[in-house]
Amino acid sequence: MNEVVDAIDRPVRLAQPPERVVSLVPSETASVADLLGVERLVGRTDYCVEPVNLVETIPSVGGTKRFDVGAVMALQPDLVLANKEENSRPLVQALIAAGLTVHVSFPCTVDESLAYLQSLAILLGVDPEHSESVNACRRAVLRAHRVSQAEAVPVFVPIWKDPWMTFDGRTYASDILALCGAHNVFASRARRYPLAADLGKMGPRSEPEVDERDTRYPRIRLEELVERGARAVLLPDEPYAFGTDDVAAFAELNASPPLRVELVDGKDLFWYGTRMAGAIEGLSHRIEQLRSVCFGVSPNN
């Protein structure tokens, strides 16, 4: 019997390793493939795009927010992988109510991603202590912790525009940035309601009025980047596909010194799981280069 507790405090039990897995989360689809191969994946979402040239053969059940419950059930999975944030709560609850074995994840830090990966390995029947994918992530985290604590590079990472939106310090993306040597300048800036309050045009609603809304993703004015001391902007290609056309908006801020703006792979910031090992290595190198440009410090110092 393999048993773990998921992110909504439910025991998830499997009498034997699953033969049929449906993943509703892109990063988890990639993690299953890394841990076990794609052979046991019988369902995915439209946004599950890795591993390239392999995942395309797996039937899709729709989007992450609007997947087809009936299509998932028709695949007769032994295990369904879902995420508290990425998937629609009523649809996930419908799968649970139908009697399917569902594991719900919600890692918001690098350490929680490691814990999730260990739970996933256990459910899949993979020994996490002897898994190269799991151990590669552990080694990457340890290496990053051992690097001398140089001055953190203050960065801004948008996830949307019109209005501009980012994330605070209670997110996985903010934590992996911190591990790799960057400081999210909006780490302490919770989302305010309504939008006018987020944009500084009126006072925010009180906590009872906000209720249980997720406040981790503030809408911001670009001028706040200068006010908060940002030195660099990292433009990811997901969840919004920022590109070279978006660079000009930051030049118009007339920041002194000018903001350094670079395009980055959004998967390195937002995909927890087995991808974390390569992400930490890549982000650490990128941020070390930014430190050299922003502070005039040699990458070798």
Give the integer Cα–Cα distance in Å for 251 and 183: 21
In a domain, 300, yes or no: no
pLDDT digits (tens, 9 = 90+) for 141-199: 999 987 766 789 999 999 999 999 999 999 999 999 999 999 999 999 999 999 999 99
Spatial distance between the Cα atoms of 105 and 41, rounded to a whole number of angstroms: 18
| Highest-confidence segment of 199-203, 254-258, 282-286 | 282-286
**102, β-bridge pairs:** 80
Place of tokens 């390995």: 121
User: 122 and 192: one domain?
Assistant: no
Mean pLDDT of the chain: 94
pLDDT at position 298 is 61
Q: What are phi and psi of 15, to 5 degrees?
A: -70, -30
Of 276 and 298, more confident: 276
Residue 107 belongs to a domain: yes
Please give the pLDDT value at position 148.
60
Report how many domains make up the chain.
2
Q: Which pair of structure tokens corresponds to residue 207?
A: 């906590």
Summarised one tens digit per residue, pLDDT across range 202-248 is 988 877 667 778 999 999 999 999 999 999 999 999 999 999 999 99
Domain boundary among 142, 173, 206: 142
User: For the ranges 124-133, 138-147, 213-222, 269-278, which has the lowest average pLDDT?
Assistant: 138-147
* Domain termination site, one of 142, 163, 180: 142
Give the Å distances, CA to CA, from 113 to 21, 129, 175, 206, 244.
20, 16, 11, 32, 31
How open is the CA angle 122-128-132, to the nearest 5 degrees? 135
Q: Look up the CATH number of the domain holding residue 236.
A: 3.40.50.1980
198: burial class by Cβ within 10 Å (0-12, 13-18, 19+)?
A: buried
The pTM (predicted TM-score) of the whole model is: 0.95
Residue 113 lies in a domain: yes
Q: Which domain holds residue 277?
A: 147-295
Which two tokens mark 285?
């190198």
90-124: pLDDT as tens digits: 999 999 999 999 999 999 999 999 999 999 999 99
pLDDT in tens, 84-93: 999 999 999 9
Which of 33-37, 84-88, 296-300 is predicted with the least confidence, judged by mean pLDDT? 296-300
Among the three residues 126, 142, 158, which one is the final residue of a domain in this structure?
Answer: 142
Query: Could you tell me if residue 13 is inside a domain?
Result: yes
